Amino acid sequence: MENKINTTSQLTFLERIESLKAGILSGSIAFLTFSLLIGFNILILANQFEVIEEIQISFDIRLIIRGAIAFISGFLFGVTYRYVVRSDHNPHLNSGAVLAFGLVRGLGELDGGLNTSENGWFFVVVVAESILLFAAARIVLDLALKQGWLKTFNSNSNWG
């Protein structure tokens, strides 16, 4: 009986390590994607299109906070995505996770901006940015799972 408990504890610990790896990888990719999108926004979009000028972000504490939020959101997505994919390879479920996280993050930001913006493009850009963050994280997580760098949840036969 004690051996079974130790094995279960070890598997739980190993599952947590895999979830931590998925979260860190996904959070890092979300942060990198966020940084690239902010750079694209500052250098190209806001300078080319007056209608998007209000989206332009200055380098201040708010940018640091938004970057941290992107990392944390990506981290949580990575942990959750690992549990979602398991081993059935359902593309609708995988894409649904991306869309769900993207919409929740984007619509949350949009809700905060409703009182400050009358610009419809603001809403489109915010939601699209959120979906892109999680789509990029999904691509990298799928690659990591395919290469064996990460294991899907409940893949007990792969431990050892």
Domain ranges of the chain: 2-158
Alpha-carbon distance 16 to 36, whole Å?
30
Q: What is the pLDDT of residues 97-151, one digit of tens each?
A: 999 999 898 888 777 665 565 666 777 778 888 999 999 999 999 999 999 999 8
65, two tokens = 């906070």
Confidence at residue 9, expressed as pLDDT on a 0 to 100 scale? 67
- Give the residue, 149 or 51, on which the prediction is more confident: 149
Q: Closest by alpha carbon to 52, among 106, 129, 124?
A: 124
Q: Closest by alpha carbon to 82, among 67, 69, 97, 100?
A: 97
The CA distances from residue 45 to 41, 55, 116, 157, in Å, are 5, 9, 20, 49
Confidence at residue 131, expressed as pLDDT on a 0 to 100 scale? 94
Alpha-carbon distance 15 to 9, whole Å?
10
Alpha-carbon distance 109 to 47, whole Å?
23
Q: What is the pLDDT of residues 15-40, one digit of tens each?
A: 999 999 999 999 999 999 999 988 88
Confidence at residue 138, expressed as pLDDT on a 0 to 100 scale? 95
